[in-house]
Chain A
Amino acid sequence: GIQVEQSPPDLILQEGANSTLRCNFSDSVNNLQWFHQNPWGQLINLFYIPSGTKQNGRLSATTVATERYSLLYISSSQTTDSGVYFCAVDNNAGNMLTFGGGTRLMVKP
């Protein structure tokens, strides 16, 4: 099956800093989603981005499908951005997501 690798696994930032999270995948994809998992376990949809670039407030994402990677940018980080960020992909048009291992982000005040 498709492999999904996220980096870095852990990241500590000072409030106000910017960061880039990376997701590499081993095959072409039909679906790519970024999620933020809050401390209570809820997965919050950030972006549905199988290709191209999208922005939502302080967050933006870019997927370069031909090179099999996606980037999530967080600007002016806040303590509420803390949590685990997951990338998930589907490559067989059956909408069955394979998740990466996540990036655990801690933003310190």
Chain B
Amino acid sequence: ETGVTQTPRHLVMGMTNKKSLKCEQHLGHNAMYWYKQSAKKPLELMFVYSLEERVENNSVPSRFSPECPNSSHLFLHLHTLQPEDSALYLCASSQGGGRSYEQYFGPGTRLTVT
């Protein structure tokens, strides 16, 4: 499998549930990202990992918890979400190293919080 994959593609969860989103990249990159796309807002960067270390936490609420166990995998752990957290969550990867490289995106997980 090539590129960036995300699972699940769709997720419906209640406000008291705990779930995790998974992202895997097969491009040999060493930086990974989580973005959020809400209905009425531009795409927003949530978290950045470079060489498996978090380098950016864009004022994201603590109910979102990222984990990057290695350079190919990225998780977003979700707990006690709110209905306004319903959105498309996109994962991306790129080369890292403090320079600007092209980012490649996965297909996204469409999350609905009920």
Interface residues in chain A, defined as those with a beta carbon under 8 Å from any beta carbon in chain B: 4, 30-31, 33, 35, 40-43, 45, 48, 50, 86, 88, 90, 93-102
A88 vs B45: C-alpha distance in the bound complex, in angstroms?
11
Query: Size class of B's contact patch?
Result: 20 to 34
Pick 15 A–B contacts, CB within 8 A, sort by A.
A31-B101, A40-B107, A41-B90, A41-B108, A43-B90, A48-B102, A88-B103, A93-B99, A94-B98, A95-B31, A95-B96, A95-B103, A96-B45, A99-B42, A100-B42
Told that A33-B103, A41-B108 touch, could you supply 6 new A-B pairs with CB distance under 8 A? A4-B42, A30-B100, A42-B105, A95-B103, A97-B43, A99-B43
Interface residues of B (CB under 8 A from A): 31, 33, 35, 37, 42-45, 48, 50, 55-56, 88, 90, 94, 96, 98-105, 107-108, 110
Interface pair B102/A45, CB less than 8 Å apart: yes
